Chain A
Amino acid sequence: MSQENSKEVILQANNLVKTYSQRSGRFGFGSTQVKALDNVSIALKAGSTLAVVGESGSGKSTLARCLLQLHPFDSGEVLFQGQNLAKLDAKSLRAARKHLQMVFQDPLASLNPRMKIGEIVGEGLLIHGLGSVIEQKNKVHQMLERVGLEVTDAQKYPHQFSGGQRQRIGIARALVLEPKVVVCDEPVSALDVSVQAQILLLLKALQKEMNLSYIFISHDLRVVRHIADEMVVMNQGKIVEQGAVTDIYSAPQQLYTQQLLNAIPGRKAA
């Protein structure tokens, strides 16, 4: 919460537009254009957390993917440390990607079931050719311990872990490359509330230690309140409101944001 306004912007998106064409009509012969991102601009300050909040279909996951150049977009630009990612050649883009990592919602779906944890976490180091084999191995072991797993877990397979442990593996995989920006797409939505608390605290601690900047995609406004410094509220591909989390929660300006905040379960009773 102690972010000064003068902090440098590490990741910035300007006027992103992304349209999907969707089959329509009962037999899918027709086609309609859906604007998943409609002129979206965001700025992530170094060392802080920017939450992207919205309901299903709001475009928040599309935004995450476009930021990391995993989806092509129609127009607009994404700047990482001032560099336009779309203008980079393949080699420079790969170098930039070391600093742009992602943590997914369902860790079981995003971890290769046939690879050992050590291989999964170490794969990025291998691809980017960072350090000798021994160094890579040590790095993987350190990272596993840092996220609360054991060195011996490197020899196990994803199915041998619980949901919370798998999310720790997903975090280790993303952070072993010492990235600058981590996009977390609903990282705690599939977890029990006690595990959710563990993972949120782990993400916060790692952010401090490694000076990470997070884009935090979530539909859960209670979680966002705890982890984010700033937020954007999305609805139907558009940003309807953005600002500091404390300001928006205490005085939402837009009707849609007010509706979202009023719908938080347990708010009326509290």
Chain B
Amino acid sequence: MATVWLAGCSGCHMSFLDLDEFLFELADLAEIVYSPVASDTKIYPDQVDVCLVEGAVANVDNLELALTLRQRTALVISFGDCAISANVPGLRNLFSAPGRDSAQTVLERGYLELADATGQLPHAPGIVPELLPRVLPLHEVIPVDLYLPGCPPSAERIRAAIEPLLHGEKPCLSGEAMLRFG
């Protein structure tokens, strides 16, 4: 199993840690092979069964990791509202005008218009990932198998989604307890 953190606040991962003692059961039944909170592995491994993906796809690093994890994972779950709808990170999409994408607009606003006389746009190829023109929900970039809404999804909701998977069953993601946004 893997968990991935793209453009999000890490609140979904905090909620994952709120699984508390169930984390011990989880550790018995599944190996966490890649995760910002439970693994030091830097390269997404092959043949992952399940991956929880938090966050929207906002920059080239997010995009590359999303494409990689899709190739190497059997079941991909959009984990939380940012992965599902772009949510708060997606608000920068409001600042796109014809001929100017939202990345240009927010970078110029943040680094030039609001800066003192020495302001400059960040440029560090290979170090600072370039922003994509538009922030995208995960399913607009790769096929997604399950959606787990919530901002963040509660620990109970996360458990109800992943516990059946540990026993080889598909969870039932319907009704107020499993679906509500926000």
Q: Answer yes or no: do A and B interact.
A: no
